[in-house]
């Protein structure tokens, strides 16, 4: 017993010493990287954020501004939204990897990765603040670095100030950078991508300046950009579009391509989209929808939209049922969403959109019409936008779909399109064409409608929101338990946490 009493402590000490030897080496997982190059982080952030654009457009964006309507499970179309956390989770999740890029390149103001990360950060947080209003911004993502686990909610005004400052800085960095960007699945990387990212930074500056133009005087800043293209280059054609191209093979196909046909077919062409484009004899309608199966069977193929905001029974039985309502365009369909006799859709035809040349031209047309800028003419910008959007879809829609996207000879001169009328009528025409051009671009159509209230969105007859079109997402409920004090402070400042509370930019 004495022997055991003496040797046991030494035995335990020996075992502990053996356990701690090379402890760090033994307990380091060699399959988990602790240091990742910016190019690998960049491609992941771009892919994730752009795919979210597609999902956000599909689930809410295309519904709320009435590109699409629903025939089943119609809550979204009746404004029974509840939580919509996709953007919130995506932005704050991806921001961790953007911070890793910032940490990797440090304060190097000649490194293009620094600038590209600033551009993506600005765009992502613009999406989040537009959707929710006041959000964590200046203290976001500082848990690891600064021990801030409950970040404050910044005001939307201060967030926009930060976004615009970062985009300006990004342009200035890229102006002197010689970095060859890799991992750039948006613009292809290499030296030639530097100019495209500069153009995106400045084009986004114009988007967000116009977005806040009802709250602040933005004339000088907008004119400084458009009046100095050498130092502030902007999009000059569709080749500059921030549009992510997909691949033919999984897992990098169109994100909706592997969806169930039943899930896809809940969404149909909105009668609003159908009526507006039909009245203009606009062939782009054939991109956005397909002739109803009933009309094809009758030998008179026609796109037949359904009104938004119907109740479950009325929606499912509208115009004789699903056979009498047009499906979403073949270009955006899933693998098994082909009509009888059609081959499966092309898996890499559609693109995820961040911003396009057409959108830029329409915002410049509005800015010039309102005398926010003095460069160019509103009509020229307006016509450029229409032509660019037609050209864009001609380049996207596969030739084998046999969709004629030739602009009718009288399209630009008809009364509903020609740039004539009072200033308000001209602004309405700009807004209508911009609405068409923002099809399937995340929530941008909704953001623009909230700003201008053009073109009109009329709640459906069975809406569940007191005949009001929602103007924001409610905060994630998890914030009430994880960051309650700061969330409650934001609600007290901004207004009740409902989908009908306008945020600063729209008040």
Look at residue 7 and tell me whether its pLDDT is greater than 60.
no
pLDDT band at 363 (very low <50, low <70, confident <90, very high): very high
Give backbone dihedrals phi and psi of 268, rounded to 5 degrees, phi first. Answer: -130, 175
Average pLDDT, stretch 252-280? 97
Strand, coil or helix: what is 169? Answer: helix
| Measured distance CA(160)–CA(124) in Å, rounded | 12
To the nearest 5 percent, what fractions of the chain are helix, strand and coil?
55, 5, 40
Average pLDDT, stretch 410-422? 98
Average pLDDT, stretch 202-220? 98
CB-count burial class (<10 Å; 0-12, 13-18, 19+) for 133: buried
Return the DSSP state at 339. Answer: P
Which residues have CB under 8 Å from 445's CB, separation 6+? 61, 62, 64, 65, 67, 435, 438, 439
Residue 282 neighbours by CB distance under 10 Å: 23
pLDDT band at 103 (very low <50, low <70, confident <90, very high): very high
Look at residue 25 and tell me whether its pLDDT is greater than 80.
no
pLDDT band at 34 (very low <50, low <70, confident <90, very high): low
Q: Are 494 and 504 in contact (CB under 8 A)?
A: yes
Look at residue 278 and tell me whether its pLDDT is greater than 50.
yes
More confident site: 150 or 23: 150
Cα radius of gyration (the chain)? 26
- Per-residue pLDDT tens for 385-404? 999 999 999 999 999 999 99
Instruction: Please give the pLDDT value at position 312.
Output: 97
Average pLDDT, stretch 280-291? 98
Give domain 39-255+349-506's CATH number out of 1.10.1200.10, 3.30.9.10, 2.160.10.10, 1.25.40.390. Answer: 1.25.40.390
Look at residue 191 and tell me whether its pLDDT is greater than 50.
yes
pLDDT band at 72 (very low <50, low <70, confident <90, very high): very high
Look at residue 18 and tell me whether its pLDDT is greater than 60.
no
pLDDT band at 33 (very low <50, low <70, confident <90, very high): low
pLDDT band at 106 (very low <50, low <70, confident <90, very high): confident
Q: Residue 223 half-sphere exposure, CB side, CA atoms within 13 Å?
A: 11
Residue 83 neighbours by CB distance under 10 Å: 12
Average pLDDT, stretch 444-464? 98
Instruction: Please give the pLDDT value at position 20.
Output: 52
Tokens of residue 46, six digits: 């771009």
pLDDT band at 15 (very low <50, low <70, confident <90, very high): very low
| Measured distance CA(142)–CA(406) in Å, rounded | 52
Nearest CA-CA partner of 257 in 55, 71, 46, 47: 55
Residue 96 neighbours by CB distance under 10 Å: 14
Give backbone dihedrals phi and psi of 269, rounded to 5 degrees, phi first. Answer: -65, 130
| Measured distance CA(399)–CA(394) in Å, rounded | 9
Sign of CA dihedral 223, 366, 392, 207: positive
Mean of all residue pLDDT scores within the chain = 94
Average pLDDT, stretch 495-504? 98
Look at residue 439 and tell me whether its pLDDT is greater than 50.
yes
Average pLDDT, stretch 199-225? 98
Instruction: Please give the pLDDT value at position 4.
Output: 42
Average pLDDT, stretch 171-197? 96
| Assessment of whether the complete model's pTM goes beyond 0.85 | yes
Would you list the domain boundaries of the chain? Answer: 39-255+349-506, 261-332
Look at residue 165 and tell me whether its pLDDT is greater than 50.
yes
Instruction: Please give the pLDDT value at position 12.
Output: 47
Q: Are 486 and 455 in contact (CB under 8 A)?
A: no
């Amino acid at each position: 017993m004495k022997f055991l009493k003496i040797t046991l402590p030494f035995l335990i000490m020996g075992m502990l010493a053996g356990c701690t030897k090379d402890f760090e080496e033994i307990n380091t997982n060699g399959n988990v990287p602790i240091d990742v190059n910016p190019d690998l982080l960049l491609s992941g952030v771009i892919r994730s954020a752009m795919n979210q654009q597609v999902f956000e457009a599909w689930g809410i964006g295309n519904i709320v501004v009435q590109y699409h309507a629903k025939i089943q499970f119609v809550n979204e179309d009746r404004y029974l939204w509840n939580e919509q956390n996709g953007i919130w989770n995506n932005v704050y999740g991806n921001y961790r990897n953007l911070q890793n890029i910032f940490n990797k390149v440090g304060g190097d103001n000649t490194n293009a990765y620094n600038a590209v990360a600033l551009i993506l950060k600005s765009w992502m947080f613009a999406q989040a603040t537009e959707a929710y209003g006041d959000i964590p911004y200046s203290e976001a993502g500082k848990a690891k670095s600064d021990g801030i686990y409950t970040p404050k909610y910044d005001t939307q005004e201060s967030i926009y100030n930060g976004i615009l400052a970062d985009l300006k800085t990004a342009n200035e960095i890229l102006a002197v950078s010689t970095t060859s960007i890799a991992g750039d699945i948006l613009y292809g990387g290499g030296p030639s991508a530097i100019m495209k990212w500069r153009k995106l930074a400045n084009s986004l500056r114009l988007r967000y300046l116009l977005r806040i133009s009802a709250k602040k005087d933005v004339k000088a800043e907008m004119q400084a950009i458009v009046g100095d293209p050498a130092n502030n280059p902007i999009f000059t054609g569709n080749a500059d579009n921030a549009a992510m191209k997909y691949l033919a093979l999984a897992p990098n196909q169109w994100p909706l391509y592997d969806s169930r046909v039943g899930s896809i077919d809940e969404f149909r062409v909105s009668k609003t989209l159908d009526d507006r484009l039909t009245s203009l004899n606009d062939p782009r309608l054939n991109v956005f929808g397909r002739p109803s199966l009933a009309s094809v069977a009758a030998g008179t193929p026609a796109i037949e939209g359904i009104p938004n905001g119907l109740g479950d029974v009325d929606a499912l039985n509208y115009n004789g049922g699903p056979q009498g309502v047009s499906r979403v365009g073949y270009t955006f369909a899933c693998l098994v969403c082909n009509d009888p006799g059609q081959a499966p859709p092309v898996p890499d035809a559609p693109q995820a959109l961040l911003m396009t040349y057409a959108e830029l031209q329409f915002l410049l047309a509005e800015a010039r019409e309102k005398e926010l800028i003095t460069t160019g003419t509103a009509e020229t910008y307006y016509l450029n936008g229409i032509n660019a959007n037609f050209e864009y879809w001609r380049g996207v829609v596969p030739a084998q779909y046999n969709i004629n996207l030739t602009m009718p000879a009288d399209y630009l001169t008809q009364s509903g399109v020609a740039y004539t009328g009072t200033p308000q009528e001209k602004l309405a025409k700009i807004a209508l064409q911009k609405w068409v051009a923002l099809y399937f671009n995340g929530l941008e159509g909704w953001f623009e409608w909230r700003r201008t209230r053009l073109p009109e969105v009329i709640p459906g007859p069975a809406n569940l929101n007191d005949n009001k079109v929602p103007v924001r997402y409610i905060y994630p409920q998890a914030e009430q338990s994880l960051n309650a004090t700061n969330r409650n402070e934001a609600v007290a400042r901004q207004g009740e946490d409902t989908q009908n509370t306008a945020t600063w930019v729209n008040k």
